[in-house]
Amino acid sequence: MAKSLDNNEIKKYLEQSKFLISDGYGPGIPIFLSKGIHVVDFFNQLFTCALLESNINYKKFNCQQLISKTDFENLYSHINDYSGEVLSFGDNMLMSDPLAQTLKEIKKNIETNGEVNLLTISSIFRNKSRGLIPLFKDRNIFPVVQLDQGINDYDFENNLTSLKKLYYNFYESIGIKILFLEAKEVPEYAEYELYFLSSLDNNFTKLGMIYKLSKKFNLNYGITSQVSLVNSGFSGKTLFMSIKNFSEAYNKNCLPPYLIASKILLVFDDLSRKDEIEDELDKTGITYVSQLHNKKSFQSWKDSEMFYFILVHKFFTLHERNGQVYEFDNLYELLKYLENNLRDSLNQSFMHSSEKLQCNLEGKTKNVCLNCWRGDYYGLILLEAPKQCERCGRDIDRAIFTENSNKRFY
């Protein structure tokens, strides 16, 4: 069985390593220290890079933290009652969903633009109190990374294909394997629901989703029903899972190098080779911060988020977060080691995540088509390669996810 770390252990690690503040906050409301904010910023940046690569022409939209109650009531009119989960400030309330603002913006632009893609990175508040863990399950959820789209109905399938590719690649780049799960949990809210299924310990978790919003939202905003409103994204839970998954695979509580802007603290005994070494490092694209060696260098690395400590003296001494120390006489051997190590640590995390997911899925899916299936099911898992129905032999591209259909999981 693949190793699983307790969620509270990761929380404790994040507090002790000065990522989150460890006291002075209410249950479930994390306060980030600068290290935490650096990582969150870089995490968001990774997603915006993935968006650019996928050619989705998005506009960044800045949300307000307070929104008017009227807007919120309009958003969910005839859809759901979330009034028990919001906090009021006079006629306003603390933002608990960027949708109230993004749908307004889509309405404003959809007729002239034909298509609107809005990226929001926000912090939202839900007045819940049970089982809170910073970054994992919070009152204050941060970051919430959301792509809200207004597109032509006939573009829905093409757009869905691009979104699946975008999210799959993004998760792979942070060491997490996901499968897509179609379900029908919130039919009033969404016409189509696709969740990003991953493993959590010996169970499953949904790390994010793509919703085709129900036409009731079109009605509430006076947007023609020819427009598909698509809402997709993920939250800090994805960041938390990336850290947890890496820590499990690496056997040490640690921030993964792929979530860190500067990977190396490069410390020089003297500056004679500084330019030469920095030039060679720049060619590899591996990021670093360099400084002259002093007696606090090593400790400052330990306190930082950087993954490697490299001391340049007669040769090169490299320290890794798991306590391993390596010596290299030759710069090119060092660079080769770094490139391989960065690639391998990402692959290992991804493999770890993938194995856990496969292992948890054992006995939980059936390769049976819907015509042949009798009984309840939670949803359908999109297969990565087509299979045959075990009963009628027809080709299938979805497997039945037989997890208890009444028990929603988080």
Which C-beta is closer to Zn ion: that of 216 or that of 366? Answer: 366
Which C-beta is closer to Zn ion: that of 273 or that of 394? Answer: 394
Smallest separation, CB 389 to Zn ion (Å): 3
Q: At what angle do helices 274-284 and 331-361 cross, to 10 degrees?
A: 30
Smallest separation, CB 386 to Zn ion (Å): 13
Which C-beta is closer to Zn ion: that of 164 or that of 366? Answer: 366
Q: Rounded distance, CA 339 to CA 349, Å?
A: 16
Q: Is 294 exposed, middle or buried (0-12, 13-18, 19+ CB in 10 A)?
A: exposed
Q: Rounded distance, CA 171 to CA 166, Å?
A: 9
Which C-beta is closer to Zn ion: that of 313 or that of 394? Answer: 394
Smallest separation, CB 204 to Zn ion (Å): 25
Q: Rounded distance, CA 46 to CA 99, Å?
A: 23
Closest among 288, 290, 289, 299 to 270, alpha carbons compared? 290
Q: Are 64 and 72 in contact (CB under 8 A)?
A: no
Which residues touch 407 (CB under 8 Å, ≥6 apart)?
Answer: none
Smallest separation, CB 370 to Zn ion (Å): 8
CA distances from 390 to 164, 195, 359, 380 (A): 27, 25, 21, 15
Which C-beta is closer to Zn ion: that of 74 or that of 367? Answer: 367
The 10 Å CB-count burial string (b at 16+, else e) for 77-100 is eebeeeeeebeeeeebbbbbbbbb
Q: Are 240 and 175 in contact (CB under 8 A)?
A: no
User: Strand pairing of 264-268 and 288-292?
Assistant: parallel
Q: Which stretches of 220-278 are assigned E, i.e. beta strand? A: 227-235, 264-268
Smallest separation, CB 369 to Zn ion (Å): 3
Q: Rounded distance, CA 152 to CA 110, Å?
A: 10
Smallest separation, CB 195 to Zn ion (Å): 24
Smallest separation, CB 364 to Zn ion (Å): 19
Q: Which residues are near Zn ion by CB under 5 A?
A: 369, 372, 389, 391-392
CA 155 to chain centre: 25
Which C-beta is closer to Zn ion: that of 132 or that of 372? Answer: 372
Smallest separation, CB 374 to Zn ion (Å): 11
Q: Which stretches of 236-378 are assigned E, i.e. beta strand? A: 264-268, 288-292, 308-312, 316-320, 325-328, 365-366
- Residue 308 DSSP SS3: strand
Which C-beta is closer to Zn ion: that of 66 or that of 370? Answer: 370
Smallest separation, CB 373 to Zn ion (Å): 8
Which C-beta is closer to Zn ion: that of 301 or that of 401? Answer: 401
Which C-beta is closer to Zn ion: that of 139 or that of 398? Answer: 398
Smallest separation, CB 401 to Zn ion (Å): 16
Q: Rounded distance, CA 354 to CA 5, Å?
A: 16
Which C-beta is closer to Zn ion: that of 227 or that of 389? Answer: 389
Q: Which amino acid is at 318?
A: L
